[in-house]
Structure 1
Amino acid sequence: MNTEIQHINESERKINIEMPQEETQKYFEEVLKKEAKKLTIPGFRKGKAPLSLVKKMYGDALFYDNLDKIAQNKFWDEMDIQGIEVLGVPKLTDLDLKEDGGLKFEIQFEVYPEIKIDNLEEIEVEKVEYEASEKFVENMVEFVRFELRTEEPADKIDSMEYIVTLEKTDIDVNESKTPEKIPVYLKNSSVNPEFVNLLMNKNLNDEFETSIPLAIKKEETENDENQTSTSRYRIVEIKKITLPEANDELAVNYSKGKISTLEELKKALVDAELSYYEKQETDQLRNAIRDAMIKKFSFTPPPTLVERYASLMEKELKKKYKINELPMNILSEVKRISEDNVKWDFIRNELKKKFNLSLTEEEIDAYAQKISEKNNLEKEKVLNYLYSDKSGLLNELEEDKLFDFILSKIKVIPKKVTI
């Protein structure tokens, strides 16, 4: 018997096997035993006819009809002998019965790719480090002052210290549509200054029409310039607001006594906001690391797994947008994302395997202890929950361990950003 395995890429192989007549017949005998059990021959119960009789009556037909099964059986035996783990369903790409009764065939199959993880220090990613500007701190204090404002009804708008509730009706739209109620704080930076000027000196229940947009548009396109619409507004409520002074008393009132000075309040506000930004940056940094590692350790992922990922994504998108078919550009993006997901799964598993990054019992126990102390729960109950199917906390903990390890090896370039 001759056997040759060709490497198509990191995840796909092709094997050529040439079986002599004796071996081909040996495999056919095994197939014949199974096929004989399905046959009914007059004078015998189903599957009980002697094998010699079945072979005499149907041998040639069964032999030719089951050449693919003979090839597949031989293929799987060969995989067991060589210790190759096959992914998906192998494809019989060529089959030839030789004149001497031997069988020659070719099968293409997928395997788990071999990935070499090394030289992590060559990977570079950028990490944004945020710092708060004086203007940012001022805005945070203004937000607190606004939260603790006092309000009183008014009949006229004569300054910026008002919250005005407007009823808006788009004139170009069906008049029967219910007007939209919009509260507007005149000092809000997102409100169009031209619109604010329009409101000055107007009274309760005044009505007016304008094409000036209420909010400032972040980005303006040619279409926006050409698609101005007129709206009708009615002032349905005016509230005069008074903001508290920015002092230590503000800090005490806002924190309900937990903070005693304005400077402490500023620090607490900035720390909380920067924590949010840093959380967002952590997610972005992990995505950057993932992309950099996929690029460095690139390989062809097994098509079967890519197709599986893509199929799930397609179903979710069709369900979400209630459509039967996805556009070609979306399908291309789905395929790209699916390939990256499969690549990352293999890279991540190889990292865990090579550097022993799976969670240890000690780490899980310490994590359970931390949760139990923080939430006043029995440690045993916490452990049971962590190991249950409902909890994804251990996956998150293992992911944290993985990225902490990667960050300790790669080069992280800080980038200062002032907000």
Structure 2
Amino acid sequence: MNITKTNVDALNAVVTIEVAKEDYASKVEKILGDYRKTASIPGFRKGAVPMSLIKKQYGKAVVLDEVNKLLQERLNQYLVEEKIEILGNPIPKETKEFDFDADAFTFEFELGLAPEFSVDLSKANVTRYNITVSDEMLEEQLERIQKQFGALVTKEKVEDGDDLKGTFVNEEAGINHTTSITVDTFKRKTDIKKFIGKKVGDVVTVNTKGLFDDEHKLMEYLGLDHEAVHGLDVEVQFTIEGITTNTKAELNQELFDKLFGAGVVNSVEELKEKIKEDALKQFEQQADQKFLNDVTESLLENTKFELPAEFLKKWIQTVGETPLTADQAEEEFAKSEKGLRYQLIEGKVVTENNLQLTFEEIKTYAATVIKQQMAQFGQTDPSDADVENIVNRVLSNQEEAKRLSDQIMSEKIVNLFKDKVKATSKDVTFDEFVKVMYGEA
């Protein structure tokens, strides 16, 4: 078997494979011999069918199958050995009718070659946000904790500060969302007064414009997406389905132990520090995601290279279960081009910075995640054997193993970017960060 590659240009090539009869003949003969042993053809005893008849009935199909297997095996082997990086999969070029009596066959495959380029992380121009925890936020969290662990009291009439369960409705605007809300969450005092004295079953009408101190709260309370809430100016009816209030829990050692375990927190000041610590961890994850997104966009903008676009469109036409038209393939390519470009950039970053994963890393990460999940359900000290059993079970699921691997690699990439990307650091409150996240700052 002879394999050669001809470069069409920097991004396209053709691989030619010459297959001789001796490359596959012995396998074909063996398979046909096995068929002969089991073939059941009228007029012949089982195992006594003439080989000429077996070849006539099965020969062409077996030759085609074996030649195809041989082609795939040797082509893949050739690409690996020659370290040829391709995009998509090789596309077989159309050949004239297959001549089963020929002593040799020639096949050609089109390749889309991965482009040569470099990634300069120093060109990324981004801001890295540090989300701070304000005193006001700490007090709100303390208030929330006291209400959460206080005694719940059902009431007949609404008073200021009560919690309501009910449903916001405006059918024309597609709003029909059941939620829980505290009366003083509404921004306007006139809206709050509308609820005072109301009972279960009463309906209160309010306008969405300026209903809360932040339009984003409409997403939570009205069940709308981000695009729908901006400038929303409609009347909504809120049907009251429940009225409750919480007597606040005392900030004492019993509550501290209930929240964090015996002796972990011993004063209100320590509680505030613990709340702040947990909030900063959560904020850091959100800020890291924003940082990763911004670096990604910057790298896409500053890393220029060509793609074998025509080849990829042709490949897209054939890769799915249902063949696509040229126009459909053009549309799919347009949708996927940006993702493909970043996939190539990320691959280059991973390779050049040796960001490989080991199985032990994945196991350790999975064990950490599992322990955190178990702690949430009160299992704060699981045995190593129990954790290992769960880890093995989780990693036996390929989708779950891939999800964990992607999370670890994402963390590695974020840490690399933190180290190598020259970003401008900026402290912001959480509310300011939300506006930046949605492009409103």
* TM norm structure 1: 0.57
Aligned pair count reads 369
Counterpart of 1:284 (choices 281, 290, 309) is 290
Q: Distance in 2 between matches of 1:416 and 1:76?
A: 56
Q: Is the 8 A contact 2:128 2:425 kept in 1?
A: yes
Is the CA contact 1:305–1:342 (under 8 Å) kept in the aligned structure 2?
no
Aligned residue number for residue 358 of structure 2: 359
Deviations 1:281-306 (A, max 9, x none): 22333344445555537563884999
Offset at 1:255? 1.5
Tell me the distance in 2 between the aligned counterparts of 1:206 and 1:4: 77
**Alignment-derived partner of residue 141 in structure 2:** 140
Structure 1, unpaired ranges of 5+: 39-44, 174-178, 315-326
- Residues in 2 aligned to 1:222 and 1:145: alpha-carbon distance in whole angstroms: 33
Aligned residues of 2:316 and 2:329 also touching (Cα < 8 A): no
- Correspondence for 2:274: 268
Contact persistence 1:306–1:339 (CA under 8 A): no
Corresponding residue number in structure 2 for 1:13: 13
1:278 Cα deviation from its structure 2 partner: 1.0
> Amino acid of the residue matched to residue 14 of structure 1?
V
Q: Distance in 1 between matches of 2:314 and 2:346?
A: 11
Q: Give the Cα–Cα distance (whole angstroms) in 2 for the partners of residues 4 and 170 of structure 1.
A: 66
**Pair 1:127 & 2:125 matched:** no
How far is the alpha carbon of 1:138 from its aligned partner?
2.8
Whose Rg is larger?
A: 1
Residues 366, 139 of structure 1: CA spacing in aligned structure 2 closer, same or farther, 3 A cutoff?
Answer: closer
**1 CA distance for matches of 2:171 and 2:72?**
71
Q: 1:49 to 1:236 in 2, by over 3 A?
A: closer
2:251 is aligned to: 250
Structure 2 residues without counterparts, runs of 5 or longer: 36-47, 219-227, 258-262, 323-327, 431-441
How far apart are residue 411 of structure 1 and its match?
2.4
In 1, distance between residues paired with 2:67 and 2:369? 59
Residue by residue over 1:153-207, the C-alpha shift from the partner in whole angstroms, topping out at 9 and shown as x without a partner, is 66655x62x426476696989xxxxx9986542222x46543211133x365695
Matched, 1:186 2:183: yes
Q: How far apart in 2 are the matches of 1:350 and 1:299?
A: 20
Q: Return the alpha-carbon distance in structure 2 between the equivalents of residues 181 and 4 of structure 1.
A: 64
Distance 1:366 1:199 in 2: 49
Counterpart in 1 of 2:434? none
Q: Is the alpha carbon distance of 1:166 and 1:339 closer, same or farther for their aligned partners in structure 2, counting shifts above 3 Å?
A: closer
SS in 1 for 2:291: helix
SS in 2 for 1:136: helix
Query: What is the alpha-carbon distance in structure 2 between the residues aligned to residue 283 and residue 404 of structure 1?
Result: 11
Question: Is 2:197 the counterpart of 1:198?
Answer: no
> How far apart in 2 are the matches of 1:384 and 1:280?
31
Tell me which amino acid in the other structure corresponds to 2:274: A
Q: Counterparts in 2 of 1:32-181, with a 5 A limit?
A: 48=51, 83-84=81-82, 88-92=89-93, 107-110=108-111, 113=114, 119-150=120-151, 157=158, 160=160, 162-163=161-162, 165=164
Post-superposition shift, 1:130? 1.0
- Percent of aligned positions with the same letter in both sequences? 10
3-state SS in 2 of match to 1:88: strand
Given that 1:151 and 1:242 are in contact with CA atoms closer than 8 Å, whether structure 2 keeps it comes out as yes
Indicate how the Cα distance of structure 1 residues 263 and 29 shifts in structure 2: closer, same or farther if over 3 A, else same: closer
Cα distance in structure 1, aligned partners of 2:384 and 2:166: 56
The separation in 1 between residues aligned to 2:153 and 2:276, in whole angstroms, is 31
The answer to whether the Cα contact below 8 Å between 1:192 and 1:213 also exists between their aligned partners in 2 is: no
Q: Distance in 2 between matches of 1:106 and 1:288?
A: 46
One-letter code aligned to 2:195: L
Which AA in structure 2 matches 1:228? E
AA at the equivalent of 2:191: F
8 Å contact from structure 1 (residues 170, 232) kept in 2: yes
Q: What CA RMSD, in Å, does the superposition of the two structures yield over aligned residues?
A: 6.3
* SS in structure 1 of the partner of residue 136 of structure 2: helix
Tell me the CA shift for residue 107 of structure 1: 3.4
Q: Which amino acid aligns with 1:263?
A: E
Separation (CA, whole Å) in 2 of partners of 1:369 and 1:198: 50
Closer/same/farther in 2, CA of residues 294 and 46 from structure 1, 3 Å limit: farther
Contact 2:90 2:109 in 1 (8 A): no
Mapped partners of 1:369, 1:186: distance in 2: 40
What is the Cα deviation at residue 113 of structure 1?
A: 3.0
> Secondary structure at 2:89's aligned position in 1?
strand
Q: What are the residue-to-residue correspondences of 1:337-376 with 2, within 5 Å? A: 339-340=340-341, 342-343=343-344, 346-347=347-348, 350-351=351-352, 355=354, 357-359=356-358
